[in-house]
Structure 1
Amino acid sequence: MTTPHQQQSADDFLMGGGGAPTGKFPTPGATITGRLTQKPTVEQQRDIKDGSLKFWKDGNPMKQLVVTVQTQERDPQNVDDDGRRRLFVKGQMKNAIADAVRASGAPGLEVDGTLTVTFTHELPAAGPGMSPAKQYAAQYVPAATNALHTPDPGTVQPAAPQQYAPPAAAAVPGLTPQQHQAAMANPATAALLAQQQAAAAAQPAGAAPPF
């Protein structure tokens, strides 16, 4: 649901939606990760109290990047929650994400790239009445890398269930087939015969067995 003056993405406007919920980082260690579902947009920041546009002291608009990712999160109170979350990227989070994109070799954030953002810790408030500054770490996997590691659904065959089959034992000299079968039916005897056969196979040709 959009708040007054909140900018909708083109896709949300077209499909009649109000946009994905905002991703939350309530405590250090909180992480949001997922593939980008649409191209990020840049918009002007607004005051959380009254929705008014925010400007720097020099009059320039304060900008932020809006990134929507598909996560595994679901709000049990929202039956329409499809797991998408929006990140309003600014300040130190912007720097962390920029560093992650550079490290990945990608030219920027792109649809189907995977972005992971973690709230690591807080810095003391810069002054009276100000909130502590949240600090973030980020990782980014480019869309091309994701594509290389995503198999084509049409070529992947379901694996057949595996059934255990005991290894076939070689015939033991001195035992009839019936005696051999009876011996192999006893787990302890079967293990002993297998050990003896393995020892015999390890002996050089023509060498006397060790027993």
Structure 2
Amino acid sequence: MYGNQNQYQQQNNFQQPQQAASPVEMSLDSVMQGGSPGLFDKNDPVGTSHQGEITGIEAQQQTDFQTGAPLFYPNGNPKPQVVIHLKTGLRDPERNYDDGVRAFYCKGYSIPNLRAASQQAGVGNFPRVGDTIRITFSETKPSQTRGFADAKIYSFQITPGNPNKAGLEQAMSDPYAGQQPNAMPQTAQGYAPAPQQPAQAASQPVTAQQATQILQLKAIGKTPQDIAGMMGLTLEQVLAVGQSSQQGGQQPESEF
């Protein structure tokens, strides 16, 4: 149902079959399932968009869809592509145990778009595992070679993942994780001062989602220093959320 995007050949697909292809690592799941389906179907119209969390990303050499032979430019350099696996909400009823993971093959005109979106998101020249990516089939470009399909061009929107996500999820599921047994409970006041962090970070307000997480962690007994470390925030940002919640009409309580 979900076609593989390698089916769209580009012009000047030079092949050098005399060179042996490099071994490719395979997972048991990919072998038994036949590989991850393509993110887009060949009949998807312009404007189709999908979003998901990146579970894998790597650079590969393009291959011929029919023969599987590696493709090269006329100068002998390999034709690159970026293969992105992302967790989506898509499900194929004809595929047993479909986990929603889809593969997207970024190549040709779409590679500069991926680089620009990554730089705009502040993650570097390419996204990382854990980042959320939205991929949109934005336009087509007529082929300059007769008999070849038009090139499909994609645009991207990237939301950086939280590097402390794993630790935050553990803290939310187990509020006593990392605490020493028989440790004396800390009082609500008189926290030891934390090391000073860059002033520019403190001036940035936290998002509504971060504020909710801060209050949830506070409710299960985490200290401001712990919360700041787990969420990658400054102590001032964490304390500001506690002060804001008190000024918003909640019951008086000891200083956060």
Q: Deviations over 1:41-83 (max 9, x none)?
A: 1111110111111111011111111110000000011122110
* TM value normalised by structure 1: 0.62
Q: Which deviates further from its counterpart, 96-105 or 24-33? A: 24-33
SS at match of 2:72: coil
Query: Which residue among 6, 27, 40 is the counterpart of 1:24?
Result: 40
Over the matched positions of the two proteins, sequence identity in percent amounts to: 27
Structure 1 residue 130: deviation in Å?
1.9
1:169-180 paired onto structure 2 within 5 Å: none
Cα displacement string for residues 108-153 of structure 1 (whole angstroms, at most 9, x for unaligned residues):
3211101111001212222311211212211001113894xx8764
What is the match of residue 109 of structure 1?
A: 127
Match of 2:107 in 1: 90
Q: Distance in 2 between matches of 1:118 and 1:7?
A: 32
**How has the CA–CA distance of structure 1 residues 82 and 126 changed in structure 2, closer, same or farther, with 3 Å as cutoff?**
same
Residue segments in structure 1 that go unaligned for 5+ positions in a row: 158-211
Residue of structure 2 equivalent to 1:56: 73
- The structural deviation recorded for 1:89 is 1.2
**SS in structure 1 opposite 2:118?**
helix
Tell me which residue corresponds to 1:133.
Answer: 151
Unaligned runs of 5+ in 2: 7-20, 176-212, 217-256
Structure 2 distance, partners of 1:8, 1:122, is 31
Residue from 143, 147, 160 that aligns with 1:142:
160
- Any conservation in 1 of the 2:30–2:36 contact (CA below 8 Å)? no
Measure the CA separation in 2 of the matches of 1:139 and 1:85.
Answer: 17
The match for 1:37 is 55
Q: Distance in 2 between matches of 1:7 and 1:32?
A: 31
Contact 1:118 1:137 survives alignment (8 Å): yes
Distance between the aligned counterparts of 2:67 and 2:31, measured in 1? 24
2:97 to 67, 80, 89: 80
Q: Which amino acid aligns with 1:72?
A: G
Q: Which amino acid is the alignment partner of residue 110 of structure 1?
A: R
Closer/same/farther in 2, CA of residues 60 and 67 from structure 1, 3 Å limit: same
Contact persistence 1:9–1:19 (CA under 8 A): no
Return closer, same or farther for 1:7/1:93 CA change in 2, 3 Å cut-off: farther
Change (3 A) 1:45 1:15: closer
Question: Structure 2 vs 1, CA of residues 129 and 114 (structure 1 numbering), >3 Å: closer, same or farther?
Answer: same
Instruction: Give the match for residue 189 of structure 1.
Output: none
What is the aligned length?
152
Q: What is the CA RMSD across the aligned residues, in angstroms? A: 3.1
Q: Which has the larger Rg? A: 1
Q: Which runs of 4+ in 1 moved over 6 A?
A: none
1:106 match: secondary structure: coil
What is the identity, as a one-letter code, of the residue corresponding to 2:37? Answer: P
2-structure distance, mates of 1:48, 1:68: 19
- Normalising by structure 2, we get a TM-score of 0.52
Aligned CA distance change for structure 1 residues 16 and 124 (closer, same or farther; 3 Å)? closer
